[in-house]
Amino acid sequence: MTSEPEPATGAAERRPRVRRGLVIVNTGEGKGKTTAALGVMFRAWGRDFRTRMFQFIKTAGARFGEHRAAERIGIPIEAGGDGCTIRSKDTEQAAALAAQQWERCKEAILSGEHDLIVLDELAYVLHYGWVPTADVIETLRRRPEGMHVIVTGRYAPQELIDFADLVTDMRVIKHPYRDQGIKAQLGIEL
Smallest separation (angstroms) from a second copy to the CB of 98? 13
Binding mask 110-139 for a second copy (x = CB under 8 A): -----xx----x--x---------------
Binding mask 151-190 for a second copy (x = CB under 8 A): ---x------x--xxxxxxxxxxxxxxx-x-xxxxxxxxx
> Looking at 54-62, 95-103, 105-113, 131-139, which segment touches a second copy (CB under 8 A)?
54-62
Q: Judge whether 33 and 150 are in contact, CB under 8 Å.
A: no
Please report, as a single letter, which amino acid is at residue 35: T
- Collapsing DSSP to helix, strand or coil, 118 comes out as strand
Q: Calculate helix-pair angle for 133-141, 91-111, nearest 10 degrees.
A: 10
Please report, as a single letter, which amino acid is at residue 118: V
Q: Around Cβ 46, how many Cβ atoms within 10 Å?
A: 9
> Looking at 69-77, 95-103, 106-114, 134-142, which segment touches a second copy (CB under 8 A)?
69-77
- When the beta carbons of 5 and 92 are compared against a second copy, the nearer one is 5
- 148 touches a second copy (CB under 8 A): yes
Q: Judge whether 40 and 64 are in contact, CB under 8 Å.
A: no
